[in-house]
Structure 1
Amino acid sequence: MIKTYKYHLSCHSMLHQHVLQFFDRIEFETGPFDLSFFDPDFLYIVKRHPSVLKKRSKAIYDVLKTWPQQDRSDLCQLIRDSNDIENICKGNFVPPTMDKNSTGINKLLRDFFIDLYTQVLDGAGFTTKYTTTLRDHFNVFSDKNKAVTLCPICGIGELKKKEDKTRDQYDHFLPKALYPLSAVNFENLVPSCKECNSFDAKGEADTIAVSSGKLFYPFDNSHKGISVEFHIAIDNIEPEKVDWRIDFVNPDGKRDEIESWKAIYKIDSRYSGHVKARIDKWYRRYWEHMHDRDIFFLTKKRRKKYYLKSLKREEELGLAFLRKPALEGFINESIMAKAELEARYYS
């Protein structure tokens, strides 16, 4: 990830906590199902969603209470471990997949957790109880992460802000279709640009299976970011056909996390395509600056320095991420494409 988010703890996180508390409560229970298994603060929502919450939680409990104690404890611990997103990202735990073909207790759990997300999280019971909506959460989250303008996952697309009419979707970092146990865990719900959340990029791919074993934790406060360098692998007289070599550097030395990020979000091909489609205009703007008669009194070296400095400032403000490194690589290493573009500009 280019940057990480600041986590926003809100009442929306309580749904996840209430569900974990339910499994903590029933771990050692074998008697009849009872509403006292739910936190009193959660009962209102349970009663508003009798089919999703009461009926399904009872079905899960009726199975678990017949199991040996060790098996019950193992499952409850599995649910807890599957929600330690930071630990999962470090590669210390691999949660089990539960796909649409799951049967038995896995199917009961999958349906329960997915419906928590699709029907309860922004449903009437929750919004009435806490007088809030997912849009409200997004607005406060956006304010808390005001410094993040570009998508922190790719650095290409822009994020929506609270002032925008629409909002970015919450992407399940671990896809809920495969890892439903963390479906309502807001450490697993990451706003991203449309492309990162599309089937052309991440989609419903198995984040963990595609990874090298370690992942960037989206809310890692110690993350020092990523820098990128563009180099000409094969020059071409047609700028859009230049082959690029893209190098990534992280001050923390998180090579495994970088490789996972590149694979999950198809970073190499997206970056290469983005630059190929824009390098002509980027270089033209640079060329016009270098030939601006109003600054001809400056040396060529200083004109170049000032232009790249302005791009660096855009990067620091989160307005552009790829333009400066790509343009620098093109200026310093291209011969054929650069000569072709300059011939066009002079003609």
Structure 2
Amino acid sequence: MLFSYTYVPHSIEKMQEYVDFIFYEVWCNAPTSEYGIELFENNADLKNVVEELWRHDLAGKPKKSAQFFLNGLNNIFNEFKGLTHSDITQFKIWYESNNDIEKCCRNDQTISPIKYEKLKIKFEKLTEELENFFKNLYSENFLSLDLIEKNIGTKKDYYSKFVLINNEDICPFCGITLLDGKYDQARDAYDHYLPKSLYPFNSINFKNLPPACNACNSKYKLANDPIDINGFARRAFYPFSNIPYKLDFKIIFSPANWNDYAPNDITISVGPVDYANEISTWFDVYAIEDRYKSLMCKKNAGKYWITQLQNWINRGRKVDEFFRELAESESDSPYADFNFLKKPFLEACYQSGLFIKDYDNGAWTGKN
């Protein structure tokens, strides 16, 4: 990704804290406990939530959007009850691993993330219950319940505070699409970076929920896995990394026809080499190469940039002045007007001889 977000603490993190308590204090103690409200005694807020849901259920007025929650608490407890001590120890390792998103992205060998498909091999029924619980845990219907909102707040409120700090206003996963910001009524979606369809335990962990534009989230990434490809672990950018970095774009452009160039005429390479693995994953998961090449071929992007430089030349101004100003703009505001791509693209055009060709009646006619 082009840049990392700054993580912004918020009360909505309490839902993950509830899940931590449920996992460690309720489910993992199942072999030596009986299921009941007393298991939630050491977490007053969570106990109140569970008690209120139970009251509605007993009164014949269940909160339908919370049925998965009540059923899941009990059903998963019963499945954990039959686990051995070594099984539970292993589940704790998996749980901690899946929630350490930064180490997952680094492909840290000290952790062992688990997917549903692997978990299901030995724990089929338990895996089904976990899938139902964690996939529904993030649902809007559940999180918008009054008793949930009053305890943890809302995703919308979290987003409004998030964009005050993270105010680039551009999707860091593509650099193409503007994100909704503090002046917009709507908000962009949170993306499950480790997809909730693949990984248990982290569907409500907001360190796994960076905002992303609709194109990145719903058209390109979908359920693509940033830390695993065909069973092989890989490194990925961590969306909330506090280690600064800057990507360096190099472009080679050699079109056969300047009037009708196409993506195949463009070659993109990105550094630095220290991030080669992360960049490779980023390109794969978000189809970055295809999207950037397409952008450089569009009338109101790449082709307009060419026109801007040609107009500069036609006015008798020096090319080096244009690139000096463009370099300053790229340094000050790399994501405005796609400067991070515009600069290397126009440099490639110039190096390929485009601006030393005759220009006659709107068509490039050949080198001088």
Same fold (TM over 0.5): yes
Q: 2:95 aligns with which of 79, 98, 120?
A: 79
Distance 1:324 1:36, change over 3 A: farther
2-side partners of 1:4 and 1:89: how far apart?
A: 13
Residue in structure 2 matched with residue 188 of structure 1 by the alignment: 208
What is the CA deviation profile of residues 242-284 of structure 1, one whole-angstrom value per residue up to 9, with x for unaligned ones?
Answer: 6111010137x11111111111111111111111113221111
Distance 1:330 1:70, change over 3 A: same
Secondary structure at the counterpart of residue 206 of structure 2: coil
The answer as to whether partners of 1:212 and 1:256 remain within 8 angstroms in 2 is no
The answer to whether structure 1 residue 327 and structure 2 residue 331 are counterparts is no
The answer as to whether partners of 1:149 and 1:318 remain within 8 angstroms in 2 is no
Distance 1:259 1:18, change over 3 A: same
Secondary structure at the counterpart of residue 238 of structure 1: helix
Q: Which moved more, 1:260-269 or 1:69-78?
A: 69-78
For residue 75 of structure 1, report the CA deviation from its aligned partner.
1.4
1-side partners of 2:276 and 2:364: how far apart?
A: 44
Q: Which moved more, 1:232-241 or 1:217-226?
A: 232-241
For residue 318 of structure 1, report the CA deviation from its aligned partner.
4.4
1:171 is aligned with what amino acid? D
Q: Which moved more, 1:62-71 or 1:233-242?
A: 233-242
The answer as to whether partners of 2:173 and 2:212 remain within 8 angstroms in 1 is yes
How many residue pairs match? The answer is 336
Q: 1:128 aligns with which of 150, 161, 172?
A: 150
Structure 1: 5+ residue stretches without partners:
none
1-side partners of 2:353 and 2:201: how far apart?
A: 50
What is the CA deviation profile of residues 178-199 of structure 1, one whole-angstrom value per residue up to 9, with x for unaligned ones?
Answer: 1132100001101111111123
For residue 334 of structure 1, report the CA deviation from its aligned partner.
4.4
The answer to whether structure 1 residue 61 and structure 2 residue 63 are counterparts is no
Residue in structure 1 matched with residue 306 of structure 2 by the alignment: 283
The answer to whether structure 1 residue 95 and structure 2 residue 130 are counterparts is no
The answer as to whether partners of 2:190 and 2:209 remain within 8 angstroms in 1 is yes
For residue 18 of structure 1, report the CA deviation from its aligned partner.
1.4
The answer to whether structure 1 residue 303 and structure 2 residue 326 are counterparts is no
Relative to the length of structure 2, the TM-score reads 0.83
The answer as to whether partners of 2:53 and 2:70 remain within 8 angstroms in 1 is yes
The answer to whether structure 1 residue 113 and structure 2 residue 134 are counterparts is yes
Structure 2: 5+ residue stretches without partners:
55-66
2:33 is aligned with what amino acid? G
Residue in structure 1 matched with residue 234 of structure 2 by the alignment: 213
1:61 is aligned with what amino acid? F
The structure where helix makes up a greater share of residues is 2
Q: Which moved more, 1:229-238 or 1:314-323?
A: 314-323
The answer to whether structure 1 residue 145 and structure 2 residue 166 are counterparts is yes
For residue 319 of structure 1, report the CA deviation from its aligned partner.
4.7
What is the CA deviation profile of residues 31-55 of structure 1, one whole-angstrom value per residue up to 9, with x for unaligned ones?
Answer: 2112233321212333455523332
Distance 1:346 1:257, change over 3 A: closer
Relative to the length of structure 1, the TM-score reads 0.87
For residue 117 of structure 1, report the CA deviation from its aligned partner.
0.5
Secondary structure at the counterpart of residue 182 of structure 1: coil
Secondary structure at the counterpart of residue 362 of structure 2: helix
1-side partners of 2:177 and 2:24: how far apart?
A: 41
Q: Which has the higher contact order (CA 8 A, sep 6+)?
A: 1
What is the CA deviation profile of residues 210-230 of structure 1, one whole-angstrom value per residue up to 9, with x for unaligned ones?
Answer: 386111111111031312111
1:149 is aligned with what amino acid? D
For residue 66 of structure 1, report the CA deviation from its aligned partner.
2.0
Distance 1:212 1:256, change over 3 A: farther
For residue 97 of structure 1, report the CA deviation from its aligned partner.
2.1
The answer as to whether partners of 2:116 and 2:131 remain within 8 angstroms in 1 is yes
Residue in structure 2 matched with residue 43 of structure 1 by the alignment: 47
| % identical aligned pairs | 25
2-side partners of 1:7 and 1:60: how far apart?
A: 31
1-side partners of 2:320 and 2:86: how far apart?
A: 72
